Amino acid sequence: MSSANTNEWIALADCNNFYASCERCFNPQLIGRAIVILSNNDGCVIARSAEAKALGIQMGVPFFEIRPLVEMHGVLAYSSNFPLYGDLSARVMQLLHVHAQEIEFYSIDEAFFTLPTTHCPESYCTSIKEQVQQCTGIPISIGIASTKTLAKIASKLAKKSRGTFLIQEANRQQVLENTLIEDIWGIGRRLSKRLQNCGIRTAWQLAMADEQYLLKRFGVCMLRTSHELRGIPSLALENSPEAKQSIRVSRTFPESVHDLDSLLQQLSFFADRACQKLRQEQQKALYVDTFIEGPYPTRKHRSTRFYLDSPSDYTPDFIHAVELSGQKLFHHCEIRKAGVTLHHFSSKNAWQQDFFSLPRDHQKQNTLMQQFDSINQKFGKGSLRFLSSGKREFSRGARLSPRYTTSWNDLALVK
């Protein structure tokens, strides 16, 4: 227990097959069955239960490609039900929060947290795991170590053992020798290729690599990772997440789009949704990227960028921008997928400081968007829309399970 006294334990709690587990919470018939969850408009597989993984269904594969497999093995496919996943995530995080000294909500299904030093870390985390499972029905795994990068490795091992795994000085070398470079947090495919070319193949080799060499060849981030693998904490828990740097809304279309009008309607709808998210974040954006993509297998990709005169969160500004972009990109070919991304954010509050000196139309625009958002909040997404985005219904996916925890009409039935 050499490092236990010098620094605190960092745990990473990770929900097992989170979306699939959420679907099972209120539908016990799904326990033990192969489930996949599909992206918006039921385009691609974004989550799989353990049984579906065992059938060889890959992450991100287009749904139509696995149809034969789905029919043969009776795999159940669900549209993504984010109201349900979001609610269960909030409950899991709240329960973790109670037991944590400090906590960083890393994603919808993962959180880093520090443990009180007075406890045996493994038994403490086992009791947290059991409590989360009992209260929410969501199974979780917890990896424990002296740094975030090691905790991430421990959480993967926790899934293969009894749901918790502790990396300490006694077993660190053995664990790292058995961890491949591409399985380390923050090291993607490109970096792992470069590391392999330098003869660094395992996490242990990276931990033991020469500092100056790493710094010169790979930069300071790699040096930090190496320190973390040695058990020297170099990444702090982030309790106040950075504001988003970009907002993207894209869809794979259920049926290909062939004409300009339909494309512009779709883009306008994306811009509308992206701007709603932008205002939620209290930000303004300066430019927007628009892209279109052709059909499988070539997926020919075209994109363009449009700068506004000044940062904005006013939807019509962006609808205008993406319509011009769409006209520029369109070339009478079949389109399977399209999307928009807002970039270069500045804080809305920076603008509001000189509220009284704003030109009148800015004030009007602000009021209009506030009213627009509050009506949509009150009466449901898409109640109020821009005419340019057409008369489309808000798509909820054809295979959506009930919103068991967020809609009175969707409560689970009890016999």
Partner 1 sequence: MNTCPLLLHSVNAGFPSPADDFVEMQLNIHDHLIKHPCASFFLRVGGESMKGAGIYPGDILVVDRSLQAQKSDIVIAIIEGEFTVKQLKFNQHGKPRLIAANRAYAPIECDNIEIWGVVTGVVRKYK
Binding residues (CB under 8 A) for partner 1: these are 28-29, 31, 91, 94-95, 131, 134-137, 404-405, 411-415
Q: Helical H runs in 161-308? A: 169-177, 189-197, 203-208, 211-218, 220-230, 260-280
Smallest distance from partner 1 to CB 132, Å: 9
Alpha carbons 358 and 312: distance in angstroms, whole number: 13
- Of the pair 391, 415, the CB lying nearest partner 1 is at 415
Please state the closest distance from residue 89 (CB atom) to partner 1, in A: 11
CA 336 to CA 9: how far, in whole Å?
A: 47
- Which residue's CB is nearer to partner 1, number 18 or number 345? 18
Query: Looking at beta carbons only, is 120 or 135 nearer to partner 1?
Result: 135
DSSP per-residue letters across 313-342: --HHHHHHHHHHHHHHH--SS-EEEEEEEE
Of the candidates 278, 289, 294, 369, the one whose C-alpha atom is nearest the C-alpha of residue 324 is 289
CB 411, min distance to partner 1, A: 4
By C-beta, is 99 or 337 nearer to partner 1? 99
User: Do the Cβ atoms of 26 and 402 come closer than 8 Å?
Assistant: yes
Structure tokens at 273: 């949704």
Q: How many residues does the chain have?
A: 415
Distance of alpha carbon 398 from alpha carbon 380, whole angstroms = 19
Supply the minimum distance, in Å, between the C-beta of residue 343 and partner 1. 33
The residue among 41 and 136 lying less far from partner 1, judged by its C-beta, is 136
Nearest distance, CB of residue 318 and partner 1, angstroms:
31
Phi, psi of 392 (to 5 degrees): -75, 145
Phi, psi of 281 (to 5 degrees): -80, 0
Smallest separation (angstroms) from partner 1 to the CB of 24: 11
Closest separation in Å from C-beta 90 to partner 1: 8
Number of other CB atoms surrounding residue 170 within 10 Å: 10
> Looking at beta carbons only, is 94 or 363 nearer to partner 1?
94
161 versus 407: smaller Cβ distance to partner 1: 407
Nearest to 39 by CA among 250, 244, 258: 250
How near is the Cβ of 129 to partner 1 at its closest, in Å? 14
- Residue 123, helix vs strand vs coil: helix
Minimum CB distance to partner 1, residue 99 (Å): 12
Confirm if 269 and 311 have CB atoms less than 8 A apart.
Answer: no
Spatial contact of 174 and 152, defined as CB atoms under 8 Å apart:
no
SS3 15: strand
Which residue, 29 or 349, has its beta carbon nearer to partner 1? 29
Determine contact, residues 161/176, Cβ cutoff 8 Å: no
| Shorter beta-carbon distance to partner 1: residue 147 or 405 | 405
